[in-house]
Structure 1
Amino acid sequence: MQVSEKRLLASIHDVAPCFESQVDRLADLIEARLGPARYAMLVVPDHWGRAPIAEARGFQARLRAWADSGVEMFVHGWFHRDTAEHKGAASLKARHMTAGEGEFLGLSHAEALQRMRDGKALVEDIIGKPAAGFIAPAWLYGPGAMQALGECGFALAEDHMRVWRPGQEDKPLARGPVVTWASRSTMRTASSLAFAALARPALQPLRTLRLAVHPGDVTKASIVASIDATLRAFSRRHVPGRYADLLK
C-alpha cells in the first residue's frame, strides 16, 4: 500500500466460540464489500468465563485458518467482563460507555499484565504467529492497563479515538473516532445509526478510517443495513488495509 493512500481498517470484535455463527455472518458482510481477509478479529480468550477458547479445538482451527488467510488477530482482553468497583471518572465510563464489559478499566497493573501476557501467549500459540496487538474491551484502559501495555511486547493498541504503539501513546499512528454500532437498546441503536449516517460523509477526509462490528449487530436488520452502507461509502475513497500498515 502506498503511503499516500487512505486506509480503511475494519474489525470484528468479541471473537469467541459462543459467537461463531455471528462472526461468520459479520465476516461475510465485510468480505462482500472489502474482499477476503481485509479486516481484523479481536479474540476474547474466555468470554465472560463461559467460552474458553483453550477448550474449543474446532474454533482454534478456525482461528488458525483465518490468520493464515491474512486476517489480523488482536488480543481482546481475557474475560471481557468488568468486575471491578469504580470511583469518579472511571465510574462514569463504566456506567455509560459499556454494559459491564470494560474489563481493563479498573484492573491493577499486576492483574492487567498477567491477563495481557496470558492472552498473548494463548492467541499466538493457536495462530502460530505474533498477535497484531491488544485492544481492551469497550476500548477502556485504566492506569494499570496503560502501564502494562508497554511491557507485553504488543505492536499496536487502540481506543475510541486513536491507534498507537504501546509506550508511545503520545504519538498516535491514526486519529479519529471508530464507527461502531450498539444493539442492546432501542435508544442506543438509534443513536449509533444516526452517527454512522453522519460519519459516512463527514469522516471521509481522514487518512485512516476505522469501523468495528460486534456479534450483537447481526440481531438487528437496521444495523446490518447501516454497516453495509458504511462499508460501501468508506471503501469508495479508502483502500481496505491492515493495522500493520500503520507501522510502515
Structure 2
Amino acid sequence: MLASIHDVGPRFEGEIDRLAELLERRLGTAGFAMLVVPDHWGRHPLSADRGFQTRLRGWADAGVEIFVHGWYHRDMADHRGLAAFKARHMTAGEGEFLGLDERQAAARMRQGKALIEDVIGREVAGFIAPAWLYGEGALAALRRCDFRLAEDHWRVWDARSDAVLARGPVVTWASRSPMRAASSLAFAALARHTLPVLPTVRVAVHPGDVTRPALLSSIDATLARFARTHAPARYAALQEP
C-alpha cells in the first residue's frame, strides 16, 4: 500500500499535522509519502519558512518519502481542446503542469528539486504533478530532470525509463462541494471492496479533507481495509529487484 499527503507546505501546516497523525496511526511514521509544493499559489514560499523547513527535514529523517509537487500548484495557462476539459473538470485551477511547455516545466521541476533537496538533505523520491495532470511539455521535461519516480491517476512509473511500475486507480477524496464529496465517498467505498485484488493499492489525501468529518472517517476506513491485505510500503520499493 502506497499512501501520500498532497500539497505539503507552510500554507496547510495545521491540516498536514492532522493528516500525518491519521496516517501514522494506521501505517506508522515511515508508512507514507509527502508531496511538497515549494510556493503554494505564489503566496507561501517554503524558502522563507525556516520552521516548516525544519519540520520537513524531520519527517524525511524519520523515513517519510518526499516528492516534488509542482512549484506553485496553480494553473495559469490558457487551455484548449482536451486540456481545457481536464483543467475545467478534473481540478479547480490546480493543474499547474498541464499547460506548460517543456522549457517552463523543466525549469520549475529543477528549481523545486534543488530547493527541497537542500531542505531535507537528501534526494527527493520523485516528481508528481499537481492534480496528477501532465501536458506533453511536462512529460518531455520529466525525462530530462533526473527524477526517479512519477505518478498519475492510473499508474506509477520510472521517470528515467518510462517503465510502468504499478497500475490501478488512486483512491482520493474531494472536498470542494457536497456533490464531489459524496462522489468520492462512494468511490472509496467501492474501492475498499474491489481494489484489494491488485498487487499495489494507492491512497492520497489532501488538506481539504480535514474540513469534512465524513471524509476523514472514509480515509480511516480505507486505510484500515487495505492494511489487512497490503503492507505499507515506500514508493522506492517498486524499483527494487
TM-score by length of 1: 0.96
Task: Give the superposed CA RMSD.
Answer: 0.6
| 1:12 and 2:26 correspond | no
SS of 1:239 mapped into structure 2: coil
- Give the CA deviation at 1:168: 3.1
Aligned-pair CA distance for 1:18: 1.1
Alignment of 1:138-177 (within 5 A): 138-169=131-162, 171-177=163-169
Q: Is the 8 A contact 2:146 2:160 kept in 1?
A: no
Q: 1:243 aligns to what?
A: 235
Counterparts of 2:85 and 2:119 in 1: how far apart (Å)? 36
2:55 paired with 1:46 = no
Structure 2 unaligned spans of 5+? none
Gap runs ≥5 in structure 1: 1-7
Q: Which of 12, 27, 34 in structure 2 is aligned with 1:34?
A: 27
Match of 2:75 in 1: 82
The SS at the match of 1:12 is strand
The answer on 1:93 being equivalent to 2:86 is yes
1:209 is matched with 201
- The 2-side partners of 1:166 and 1:247 are apart by 11
1:24 aligns with 2:12: no
**Post-superposition offset of 1:208:** 0.6
Distance 1:167 1:118 in 2: 18
Matched, 1:123 2:86: no
Residue aligned with 2:117, SS: helix
1:223 aligned partner? 215
Does 2:182 match 1:190? yes
Per the alignment, residue 99 of structure 2 pairs with 106
Within 2, Cα distance between the matches of 1:167 and 1:39?
A: 23
C-alpha distance after superposition, 1:1-25 (max 9, x if no partner): xxxxxxx000000001010010000
Alignment identity in percent? 67
Give the deviation of 1:37 after TM superposition: 1.9
CA distance in 1, matches of 2:43, 2:214: 29
Q: What's the CA shift for 1:166? A: 1.4
| TM-score normalised by structure 2 residue count | 0.99
What does the per-residue CA deviation read over 1:11-63, in whole Å, with 9 as the maximum and x for residues that have no partner? 00000101001000000001111112210000000000010000000000000
Question: In structure 1, which of residues 58, 65, 87 is the aligned counterpart of residue 58 of structure 2?
Answer: 65
TM superposition outliers: structure 1 runs of 4+ over 2 Å:
none
Higher relative contact order (CA 8 A, sep 6+): 1
Residue range with higher mean Cα deviation, 190-199 or 30-39: 30-39
Task: Count residues with an aligned counterpart.
Answer: 240
Quote the Cα distance in structure 2 between the aligned partners of 1:93 and 1:207. Answer: 29
How far the C-alpha of 1:201 sits from its partner, in A, is 1.2
Structure 2 match to 1:3: none
